[in-house]
């Protein structure tokens, strides 16, 4: 189960590697009018889908702060996304110099380690053989863009609304669903059907991931949470996490998802990259 929650963010790799805002500035959004009227099941989810952030591509600059036991680290990161295709992170901790490039696509993860002149390309199949996992690329994409999702699915159709358990109380709504491995996903939304948090826990609720959204601002006339945070919990006690602050954001602009590997770089595995970073970290 510990390995599962590492995979939730970037199959664990992005967080491990991050150890070592033509964009428009968003505007602070005023408090939207929300209704405390209880809505019918399908009406609620229709409204939530209509209010969700819409994009085909996305570019952003963000600051990522990583907290692990005994350590806090941060880095500037440039993010690029093509919806339902790929998510790319350029990690630039020093003066805008890229040290790592990480790309997650629908079927694989690729990493370039410029410090050590090496790269890795691996499919998700091997991970699924080791860990019973329903969570996929599309679910990760939903986490980064403040969308509701069904574990293992690419999108939510109207005929799938019945899979969710919905509890409405005044200006809050709790949405629950379980996957095939009995992991429980709990989404919290406000009276405007805006997603506020996603909580993923195993059946015993011993291990959990809490992903929250805050500081909603207008970007291209749409609300987007400029602050996100994720905490890994064991028996309710935080074991580490990340905090993401978006400083610049723009949807639906041309993006270059180039991912060329220099000819002299040596191919390795993701596991070896993580081990290497762990060893270098201990020497400091």
Burial class (CB in 10 A: 0-12, 13-18, 19+), 34: middle
The domain locations on the chain are 2-272
The class (CATH top level) of 2-272 is mainly beta
183 within 8 A of 134, measured Cβ to Cβ: yes
Question: Quick one: pLDDT at residue 274?
Answer: 73
End-to-end CA, the chain:
30
Distances, alpha carbon 262 to alpha carbons 89, 99, 108, 115, 258, in Å: 18, 14, 19, 13, 12
- Angstrom CA distances, 276 to 92, 113, 249, 273, 281, stand at 19, 11, 33, 5, 9
pTM of structure: 0.84
pLDDT in tens, the chain (284 residues): 444 444 444 444 544 444 443 334 445 554 444 455 678 999 999 999 998 999 999 999 999 998 877 778 889 999 999 999 999 999 998 888 999 999 999 999 999 999 899 999 988 776 555 555 567 899 999 999 999 999 999 999 999 999 999 999 888 999 999 998 888 999 999 988 899 999 999 888 888 999 999 999 998 889 999 999 999 888 988 888 899 999 989 999 999 999 999 999 999 988 788 776 655 555 55
> How does strand 118-123 pair with strand 266-267?
parallel
3-class DSSP assignment, residue 99: coil
CB within 8 Å of 49: residues ≥ 6 apart: 148, 156
């Amino acid at each position: 189960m510990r390995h599962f929650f590492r995979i939730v963010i970037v199959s664990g790799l992005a967080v491990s590697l991050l150890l070592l805002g033509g964009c428009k500035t968003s505007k602070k959004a005023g408090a939207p009018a929300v209704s405390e009227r209880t809505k019918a099941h399908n009406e609620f989810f229709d409204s939530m889908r209509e209010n969700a952030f819409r994009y085909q591509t996305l570019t952003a600059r963000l600051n990522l702060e990583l907290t692990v036991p005994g350590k806090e680290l941060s880095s500037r990161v440039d993010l690029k996304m093509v919806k339902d295709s790929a998510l790319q992170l350029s990690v630039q901790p020093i003066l805008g110099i890229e040290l790592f490039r990480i790309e997650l696509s629908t079927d694989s993860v690729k990493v370039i380690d410029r410090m050590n002149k090496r790269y890795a390309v691996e499919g998700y199949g091997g991970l699924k053989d080791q860990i019973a996992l329903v969570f996929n690329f599309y679910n990760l994409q939903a986490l980064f863009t403040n969308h509701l999702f069904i574990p293992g699915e690419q999108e939510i159709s109207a005929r799938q609304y019945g899979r969710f358990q919905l509890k409405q109380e005044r200006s809050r709504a709790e949405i629950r669903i379980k996957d095939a491995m009995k992991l429980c996903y709990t989404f919290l939304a406000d009276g405007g059907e805006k997603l506020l948090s996603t909580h993923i826990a195993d059946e015993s609720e011993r291990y959990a991931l809490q992903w929250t959204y805050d500081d909603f601002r207008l970007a291209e006339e749409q609300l987007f949470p400029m602050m996100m945070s994720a905490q890994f919990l064991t028996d309710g006690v935080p074991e580490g996490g990340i905090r993401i602050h978006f400083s610049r954001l723009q949807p639906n602009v041309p993006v270059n998802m180039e991912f060329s590997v220099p000819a002299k770089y040596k191919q390795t595995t993701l596991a070896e990259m993580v081990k290497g970073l762990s060893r270098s970290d201990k020497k400091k």
